[in-house]
Amino acid sequence: MELKRKYAIAAVLLVLIIAWILIPNNVLQTVSDKTTVVLNVFGNRKAATSKSTPKLPLNTSPTDPLEIIRRDCGQLCDTSRKGSPGPYFDHVNADINCQAIFRNQYVDRGHELPHAPKSIPKNLMIEYTMNNRIPVKYWYFDSQYLGKTARSPVWTEKGIEDWIISAKQGKLRGNYGAGETNALRDALKHAPGIVDGRVMVIGSENPWVEACVLEAGAREVFTLEYGSIKSEHPKVKTIVPLDFRMRYLNNTLGTFDAIVTFSSIEHSGLGRYGDALNPWGDIIAIARAWCVTKPGGSLTIGVQYNYDHEYLRFNADRWYGKIRYPYLTTNWKQHYRGKGSQRVHVFTK
Ligand SMILES: *[C@@H]1O[C@H](CO)[C@@H](O)[C@H](O)[C@H]1NC(C)=O
């Protein structure tokens, strides 16, 4: 009797152990697969594909904003593609779907958080670092700017005219000192489309870039800035990202002879100014500029530049070099390399 009972208990225990091993494993497997799918929606696409594709129905549209951006961005946001040697760094081409990158409402969205994200989410690391090719440092800012009034909300006509005069004399300090201002002025002399052109300036809190562009002979300046600015200068118009997008889509924006941007787009997609995290924010900003530039027009760009030692300094800015510059300026032809610590480069379309 005693022995039989022991056997019975042992048998029950054995069944329980087997059940415990088998059943939860199945359950756990399912749960963990689901987790993988969710986590990988905007993470490493290769991992998501190899692990999860068989279980997903075919032809599903992505629902995550960053996956939707990636889809609309196409080749442009695939920074693993090879370039070909160019005069200053590699040249990269991509099919840019202009309609898609303007139609996408997520590109310009705000992060909607009380504070800008302090670190890069794990699943975005691969994209931000271009598959670990770009080192990350940290320097944090939390300057809510998107959708708010810009730092100098009124640009007076006299203020801009005074700056044009001091630019002519080589004395305009701008935001970064006379040396950088003069580096920009030098590059503008080499940029097709500036003289008598309709020129778009991307992002400037103060109209020093606009003053340089007018000094160089532009007919009209159109400033695209996160915050709304009121310009009283008859040749300077301003626009916020939402209207820029809407006017492109309803065909009232028109095209530009030249684009000029200095120390601005390197912040795009880092959250610092209230924008949502977007690893391709800078690349898409310059691609949209490409979309609205006339053939033969130009892009003049000054960004923090270090050919061999570029990095991402989250969330302050990006430094550009041989690795990311080719993707930043996708499709643009390298035309002139100027001066400055934010070394000014000119490209043509
Ligand atoms: C085009 O879009 C802009 C910006 O939203 C708007 O102000 C304008 O009225 C629109 N024009 C037409 C013709 O729809």
Tell me whether residue 54 is in a domain.
Answer: no
Residue 185 CA from chain centroid, whole number: 25
Distance 7 CA to ligand 1 centre (A): 83
| Calpha distance 297→332 (Å, rounded) | 10
pLDDT for residue 204: 77
Asked whether residue 145 falls in the same domain as residue 264, the answer is yes
Asked whether residue 274 falls in the same domain as residue 158, the answer is yes
pLDDT for residue 249: 98
Q: How many domains does the chain have?
A: 2
Asked whether residue 228 falls in the same domain as residue 270, the answer is yes
- Report the run of H or E that residue 237 belongs to, with start and end: strand 236-239
Asked whether residue 31 falls in the same domain as residue 158, the answer is no
Query: At 262, is the secondary structure helix, strand, or coil?
Result: strand
Asked whether residue 77 falls in the same domain as residue 193, the answer is yes
pLDDT for residue 26: 41
Q: Which of 246, 248, 249, 253 for a ligand 1 pocket mutation test, highest count of atoms within 8 Å of Cβ?
A: 246
Supply the CATH number for residue 277's domain.
3.40.50.150
Tell me whether residue 288 is in a domain.
Answer: yes
Distance 272 CA to ligand 1 centre (A): 29
- Chunked mean pLDDT (size 10), the chain, 349 residues: 61 55 44 38 39 53 92 97 97 98 95 94 97 97 69 89 98 97 98 98 92 98 92 96 96 98 96 94 98 98 97 97 98 98 97
Asked whether residue 231 falls in the same domain as residue 310, the answer is yes
Residue keyed to tokens 């941007």: 261
- Domain limits for position 31: 2-43
Q: How would DSSP label each residue in 39-105?
A: HHTTS-HHHHHHHHGGGSPTTPPP-SHHHHHHHHHGGGG-TTS--B--SSS-B------HHHHHH-T
- pTM attached to this predicted model: 0.82
Asked whether residue 128 falls in the same domain as residue 12, the answer is no
With a Cβ cut-off of 6 Å, ligand 1 is lined by 243, 246-247, 250, 252
